[in-house]
Structures are given as C-alpha cells and as structure tokens.
Homo-oligomer: A and B are copies of this chain.
Amino acid sequence: MGSAAMQTSDHQQLGMELRQAMRGLASSVSLIASTDDSGNRFAMTATSVTSLSMDPPSMLVCINRGAAFNKVMQGGRGFSINILCADHLALARLCSSRAYGEERFAQGQWRRDERGTPFLADAQAAVVCIPDARYAYGSHDIFVGKVVTVHLGEAIDPLVYADGSYRVLKEDVLDLPRAYAAPG
C-alpha cells in the first residue's frame, strides 16, 4: 500500500513536471475548424500542431478525446489548420472560450471552400486538409490531415503561446540562416 501510494505520488509529480516543461515549449497558435455531417461549423484553438510530411503534404494536430471538437474530427469531414498572426488574439480567446459551435465564428473572416470546409481567409496561413489517419494514444488522438489547399497571407508575424500567455516574436534574428542549419 505504501508502494502504491508512492507510485501515485510519483505519477502526479511527473505530470506536474511535464506540464511545467510544456509551458516552455513555445508554439504557434492555430484554429482548427471543421463541420459535422449537417454542415454546422466547429472550431478550437490548438497549439499541438506540426507539419508532418511533404510527401504527401500533411500536418498533424493532437486533440483530447474528451474535447467536443474531437467528436467533430472523428466525423471525418475536411478540416482547416489556420495559423494565427499576432493581431488574432481575440480569435484565439474566442475559440478556447465557453462559446460553442457557430458562436466561435462570430469574429474573423471565415469562408467555406467548395467542399464546405471553413477556413480563416485572413489567417497568416490557412491549410485545408482532408483527414487521412487517426492514431489514438492515451488521452488524445493524433489527427493527420492530407493538405489539399493552402491560403497564404502576406506577412509572417505568428501569435505564439508560451509560459501560459500569448506572445509574439522579437523582430531580430539571432543569426543568419544557413541552408544546412535548418532544423529537421
């Protein structure tokens, strides 16, 4: 019994330490948007987004299986990953608030493409995907989207989430880019 209690405690301690470590993992803020079978729109703010492969062009997003948006994603309709810029703070807040369903589309230049997939027309970049794989792991699903269309904005000034707050990047570059030094 002492051992079991110790394990629980260790497990909780590890979770707290990982949460603290993840506070420091700076991430671009994106809105993921999709529809249900009736065409109703849903969106959520997400930071667990990365590019995956260029062949085929694809991205992934990790979504808690307990989130309402997870069920929408499991419906298998097209979805968009809308990378936000610095002046989209209000949108990021709205899509992580208690507003539900269509209420989250009250702000922002939302459009639908020919498949009916909602995307944010003035995003820094809006990447429209069709779902191509789902990997369940622990409390979350990894949704892989095969990219079908990319809408590019003009400037790059990403909204970033780090240390529990929304932030932006300093303008200065730490060093000149070198082709071989691009991280993989």
Q: Which residues of A contact B (CB under 8 A)?
A: 14-15, 17-30, 44-58, 60, 62-64, 67, 69, 83, 85-86, 89, 92-93, 96-98, 124-125, 127, 132-133, 135, 137-140, 142, 144, 147-150, 152, 156, 158-170, 172-178, 180-184
Contact = CB atoms under 8 A, between A and B. Distances in A.
Contact of A182 (B96, B124, B159, B184): B96
Q: Which of A60, A165, A175, A184 has the most CB of B within 10 A?
A: A184
A153 B181 CA distance: 25
B28 A28 contact: no
Contacts of A132: 137
Given A53-B138, A158-B162, A160-B160, A173 B167 contact: yes
Contact of A169 (B15, B93, B168): B168
A123 B41 CA distance: 41
Given A48-B184, A92-B183, A93-B181, 16 more contacts: A14-B57, A14-B150, A19-B54, A21-B83, A53-B62, A54-B139, A93-B175, A96-B181, A97-B180, A98-B180, A156-B162, A160-B160, A160-B169, A165-B173, A165-B177, A170-B170
